[in-house]
Amino acid sequence: MKTLSRLVQTGLTGTIRVPGDKSISHRAVMFGSIAHGKTMVDGFLPGEDCLSTIDCFRKLGVEIRQENDHVVINGNGIEGLREPKDILDVGNSGTTCRLLLGVLANTPFHSCVIGDDSIAKRPMNRVTGPLREMGTKIDGRDTGNYTPISIRGGSLKAIDYVSPVGSAQVKSAVLLAGLQADGTTTLTEPHHSRDHTERMLRAFGCEVVVNDLTVSLKGGQSLTATHIEVPGDISSAAFYLVAGAIVPNSDLTIEKVGINPTRTGIVDVLKEMGAEVTVTNQQTETSEPFADVHIKTSSLEGIEISGDLIPRLIDEIPIIALAATQAKGTTVIKDAAELKVKETNRIDTVVNELKKLGAQIEATEDGMIIHGKADLVGTTVDSHGDHRIGMMLAIASCLADGETVIQNSEAVHVSYPAFFEQLEQLRK
C-alpha cells in the first residue's frame, strides 16, 4: 500500500531514464536461449515479468546469468532445451506465457505452464488454436484456453494463418513455432501489432519477410547469438509524459526511450491533445530506434482515439484516460475491446478507479468516454494487481486534492520496480 499526497507548488522537473523495454527484454532472453552461442543483453528490465521469463528458460536447461540490467545467455539452439523437472511459472506475464508456448511447440518433451490468478483468466486459445493446427499437442483448462496448460511438441507443419486479433503475442508465438516447422509459415493480422519479434529475429540472423500485414518465415532457420541493447520502455515513459503534461509547473526530459513506430501512439496522442512534446536525438542505426522525449505542462483538449492508433498505444490507455480527465472537452476511446483481456479488464478498472477520484468517465463496449476537466479528490483506490493501473493512480495522486491511498501498489514491480522511488525523487 502507498499513500501519496497532492503536489502543491512544485511540478515534476528534471532529466530521467526509465527501465528497459519489457517486450524487448522478454524477447532478448527467449531468442538468446534458443540461439547458438553467447548472447549479451544490456538495458534488460529486471522487473518481475522478465524475471519470470529467465526462470522458465533456466528450468528448460539454459544457462543464464543476470545482474541488474545485464544478462548473459549461453544458448545451445532450440534443440538444446531440456524437459523441465518442474512446472514453468510465468507469474503475471502474458508475453512469457504466449511466446513460451510458441517456443515449446515442437520440443520433444512435456511441459506444464502456469501463472498467477490474472494469467488464469487470460485467453490462451488465440495461441493454442494455431499451434494445434501446426501439430502441437496441447491440453489445459477449458480444453487449452486457460492455464494450467500442458504442452508436448509435435512434428510441425507450416501454416498460413489469418489471425482474428491484431496481437504481437499471437504473431510471435506462431513465428516461433514456424521456425521449427516444415515449410514457410505465414501470418496475416487485421492491423499492425508491435514488431519487436520481426526486428529481433533479423538481429539473430533469421530471414523474415514482411509485406504490409503479412509476415512469413521459412522453417529450419537457426539463430546466432548477438548483442542486444534494450532502449527505455515507452510504456513506462508514458506515465511521466502524461505527468509532465498535466501536473502544473512540470518540465521533464526522458532519455533514450524506444521510439519504434509500432509503439509511439502515446506521443501522437499527446501532440494531438495539444501537449508540448518534442522528440530529439533520434538514433536509428540500431534495430530498435530510440530518442530523448521532452514534455512540459500543457493545456490539453479532448480527442477521439480509435482504429489503427489503438494497437500503437494499447498499454498506455490507462494513463491516457487520466490525461483526458485533465483535458478540456470530451475524449472518446473506441475499438479497444482488447483491454478486457489484459492483466485486469482495463476498461472496468480504469473507469471504476478514476471515478473514485472524481473523474467523469463511463465505460463503453469497446472503450470509454471521459469528460474533462475534472477536479480530482484523493481517496482509497486499488491497482487490482495491475501494474499499469497502479502507476496511473500514482500519477493521479500528484493532482488529487488531499491524500490518495493506493492498495496493492506493489503490482508496479511487474514492469517498473523502482517506480515509486523515482517518483519520490522527482516530487522533491
Closest CB to ligand SPQ among residues 343, 382: 343
Q: Look at strands 70-76 and 251-258 and give their pairing.
A: unpaired
Whole-Å CA distances, 128 to 31, 83, 101, 136: 20, 20, 8, 8
Spatial separation of the C-alpha atoms in residues 369 and 333, rounded to whole Å: 6
CB of 274 to ligand SPQ, least distance (A): 26
Angle at 381 between CA 21 and CA 248, to 5 degrees: 70
Distance CA 306, CA 333 (A): 6
3 state SS for 167-231:
CHHHHHHHHHHHCCCECEEEEECCCCCCCHHHHHHHHCCCCCEEECCEEEEECCCCEECCEEECC
Could you tell me the smallest distance in angstroms from the CB atom of residue 258 to ligand SPQ?
Answer: 12
Is residue 314 near ligand SPQ by the rule CB under 6 A?
yes
Interface residue with ligand SPQ among 343, 381, 396, 400 (CB under 6 A) is 343
- The answer to whether the beta carbons of residues 140 and 150 sit under 8 Å apart is yes
Report helix angle 234-246 to 317-325, nearest 10.
0
> x/- contact string, 118-147, with ligand SPQ (CB under 6 A)?
------------------------------
Residue identified by cell 482509497 is 380
Select the residue interacting with ligand SPQ from 94, 102, 232, 372 (CB under 6 A): 94
Nearer to ligand SPQ (CB atom), residue 193 or residue 297: 193
- For ligand SPQ, the closer CB: 337 or 405: 337
State the CB neighbour count (10 A cutoff) for residue 227. Answer: 12
How distant is the alpha carbon of residue 260 from its chain centre? 13
- By CB under 6 A, tell whether 223 contacts ligand SPQ: no
Which stretches of 262-366 are assigned E, i.e. beta strand?
276-283, 290-296, 304-305, 329-333, 360-364
Pure H helices in 326-372: 346-356
- Choose between 288 and 315: whose C-beta lies nearer to ligand SPQ: 315
- Does the footprint of ligand SPQ cover residue 95 (CB under 6 A)? yes
What is the Cα 300 distance to its own chain's centre?
26
Q: Which of 292, 315, 382, 386 is catalytic?
A: 315
Interaction of residue 193 with ligand SPQ, rule CB under 6 A: yes
Query: Which of positions 165-184 make contact with ligand SPQ (CB under 6 A)?
Result: 167-169
Span interacting with ligand SPQ, options 1-9, 240-248, 335-343, 392-400, rule CB under 6 A: 335-343
Q: Examine residue 408 and tell whether it contacts ligand SPQ (CB under 6 A).
A: no
388 binds ligand SPQ (CB under 6 A): yes
Compute CA distances 301 → 261, 266, 274, 310, 375, whole Å: 24, 15, 6, 19, 16
* 335 lies in the site for ligand SPQ, by CB under 6 A: no
Query: Is 348 labeled as catalytic in the residue annotation?
Result: no
Which span sits near ligand SPQ by CB under 6 A: 75-83, 164-172, 256-264, 291-299?
Answer: 164-172
Q: Among residues 33, 39, 93, 216, which is the contact residue for ligand SPQ, using CB under 6 A?
A: 93
- The C-alpha cell that represents 388 in the structure block: 499499469
CB under 6 A: which stretch of 89-97, 108-116, 136-144, 295-303 binds ligand SPQ?
89-97
CB 98 → ligand SPQ: shortest distance, Å? 7
| Using rule CB under 6 A, residue 53 touches ligand SPQ | no
Q: Pick from 268, 304, 338, 366: which binds ligand SPQ (CB under 6 A)?
A: 338
Residue 394, classified by CB atoms within 10 Å of its CB into exposed (0-12), middle (13-18) or buried (19+), is buried
**What positions carry a catalytic annotation?**
315
Residues that bind ligand SPQ (CB under 6 A): 22-23, 49, 93-95, 167-169, 193-194, 314-315, 338, 342-343, 388, 415
